[in-house]
């Protein structure tokens, strides 16, 4: 019963968490990692084994993934990046025919998560407030511009007044002109949530984003606050949701207004904080997908746990590229 962390890259902490949890429950189980350049992937080096896969846009990606999974007795795949989610969801049945399970949400959930307008509509259908989107001919300042399919703050702009606007902002139809959520009174939270095979919420851990580097939380702190109850009330069941869904919200420190931002249906880069706080998603995945156990909702995790990240080295002797 081996597990694969796909597109592993630098997710060393995630690989180590799965290694620890599988050894406690399946002593002979191993955690493999795959990447398009595994020799230069720290997570692949740390894993029990690794193999190379083509880029996601290569038509042979799925076939080579299946071949390698069969070769290494891998029966569970855990994806980690947005671009592979839809491909794996579309080929879920093909993988299952080869005895390989995938921790992935439905095509519908993934499609909505990739389009910020669609995910805003989803939030509103659940009674959750989102930032107001302005018509381009009727703007209120300050405002925030971002593409509907963007990530990692690419092409994101804070517009303080109309003089900050350029033709570039109006030419791109994907640009959303949004209400600006003032960071001086609003805290941004990433919420790690886990949904079981029954599409029901099993765990939710808000993490306040203190400092972000290259789109990933570098400093953060867990918080048992209003968001826990709010998510339980509004998102206790999401049809098609499975595994880890990373949600982002703003919480106003004064008014307690909650505004939803987005959902990424995969492990977030800051998940190691939630894991170290006691939100053991690798354990849940192993028990549910490999051992057939039913999960119950749990809030057994540490409040106010602060994470301060730093860089660490993985060294390979006598490396030949």
Residues 160 and 73 in one domain: no
Count of domains for the chain: 3
Which range of residues forms the domain containing residue 290? 110-127+183-308
Q: Is 154 among the domain residues? A: yes
Please answer whether residues 8 and 44 qualify as being in contact, where contact means their C-beta atoms are separated by less than 8 angstroms. Answer: yes
Same domain, 171 and 297: no
Domain harbouring 25, CATH code: 3.40.50.20
Contact between residue 27 and residue 66 where contact means Cβ atoms under 8 Å apart: no
CB-based contact 97:240 (threshold 8 Å): no
pLDDT of residue 245: 98
**H/E stretch holding 228:** helix 226-234
Q: Please give, one letter per residue, the 3-state secondary structure of 158-222.
A: EECCHHHCCHHHHHCCCEEEEECCCCCCEEEEEEEEEECCCCEEEEEEEEEEEEEECCEEEEEEE
Same domain flag for 25 and 154: no
- 154 and 242 belong to one structural domain: no
How crowded is the C-beta side of 35, counted as CA atoms within 13 Å? Answer: 22
Token pair 């720290």 is at which residue?
42
226 and 245 assigned to the same domain: yes
**273 to each of 66, 118, 282, how far by Cα in Å?**
32, 29, 13
Q: Is the peptide bond before 142 cis (omega within 30 degrees of 0)?
A: yes
Residue 21 phi/psi, 5-degree rounding, is -75, -35
- On whether residue 318 sits in a domain, the answer given is no
Same domain, 53 and 120: no
Alpha helix ranges (H) inside 26-81: 42-46, 61-71
Is 241 within a domain? Answer: yes
| Together in a domain, 245 and 163 | no
How far apart CA 64 and CA 52 sit, in angstroms, is: 9
pLDDT of residue 89: 98
262 strand-pairing partners = 248
Per-residue pLDDT of the chain (321 residues; tens, 9 = 90+): 999 999 999 999 999 999 999 999 999 999 999 999 999 999 999 999 999 999 999 999 999 999 999 999 999 999 999 999 999 999 999 999 999 999 999 999 999 999 999 999 999 999 999 999 999 999 999 999 999 988 767 899 999 999 999 999 999 999 999 999 999 999 999 999 999 999 999 999 999 999 998 778 999 999 999 999 999 999 999 999 999 999 999 999 999 999 999 999 999 999 999 999 999 999 999 999 999 999 999 999 999 999 999 998 999 998 887
Paired residues of 158 in beta bridges: 144
Can you give the pLDDT at residue 145? 97
- Given this model, what pLDDT does residue 151 score? 74
CA dihedral sign, ordered 284, 289, 292, 294: positive
Q: Is residue 38 part of a domain?
A: yes
Nearest to 145 by CA among 119, 100, 114, 178: 178
Q: CA 265, CA 292: separation in Å to the nearest integer?
A: 22
Q: Spell 125-152 as b/e; 16+ CB within 10 A means b.
A: eeebebbeebeeeeeeeebebbebebee
Nearest to 106 by CA among 225, 240, 251: 240
Q: Are residues 208 and 291 in the same domain?
A: yes
Same domain, 115 and 78: no
Specify which residues 3 forms β-bridges with: 31, 76
Residue 136 domain-assigned (yes or no) = no
pTM of the model: 0.95
Distance CA 114, CA 89 (A): 14
Q: Are residues 228 and 121 in the same domain?
A: yes
């Amino acid at each position: 019963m081996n597990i694969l962390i796909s597109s592993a890259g630098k997710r060393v902490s995630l690989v180590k968490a799965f290694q620890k949890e599988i050894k406690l429950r399946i002593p002979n189980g191993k955690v493999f990692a795959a990447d398009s350049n595994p020799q230069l992937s720290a997570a692949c080096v740390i894993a029990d084994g690794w193999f190379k896969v083509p880029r996601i846009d290569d038509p042979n990606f799925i076939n080579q993934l299946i071949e390698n999974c069969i070769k290494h007795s891998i029966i569970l795949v855990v994806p980690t990046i947005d671009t592979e989610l839809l491909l794996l969801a579309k080929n879920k049945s093909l993988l299952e025919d080869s005895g390989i399970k995938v921790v992935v949400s439905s095509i519908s959930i993934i499609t909505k998560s990739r389009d910020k307008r669609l995910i805003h509509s989803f939030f509103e259908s659940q009674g959750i407030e989102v930032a107001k989107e302005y018509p381009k001919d009727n703007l209120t300042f300050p405002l925030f511009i971002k593409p509907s399919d963007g990530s990692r703050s690419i092409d994101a702009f804070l517009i303080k007044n109309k003089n900050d606007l350029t033709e570039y902002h109006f030419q791109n139809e994907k640009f959303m002109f949004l209400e600006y959520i003032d960071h001086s009174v609003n805290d941004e939270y990433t919420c790690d949530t886990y949904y079981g095979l029954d599409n029901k919420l099993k765990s939710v851990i808000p993490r306040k984003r203190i400092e972000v580097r290259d789109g990933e939380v570098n400093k953060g702190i867990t918080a048992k606050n209003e968001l826990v109850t709010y998510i339980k009330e509004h998102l206790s069941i999401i049809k098609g949701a499975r595994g880890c869904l990373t949600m982002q919200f703003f919480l106003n420190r004064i008014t307690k207004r909650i505004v939803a931002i987005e959902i990424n249906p995969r492990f977030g880069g800051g998940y190691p904080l939630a894991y170290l706080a006691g939100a053991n998603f690798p354990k849940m995945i192993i028990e549910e997908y490999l051992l057939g156990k039913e999960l119950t909702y749990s809030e057994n995790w540490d409040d106010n746990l602060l994470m301060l990240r730093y860089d660490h080295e993985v060294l390979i002797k006598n490396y030949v590229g």
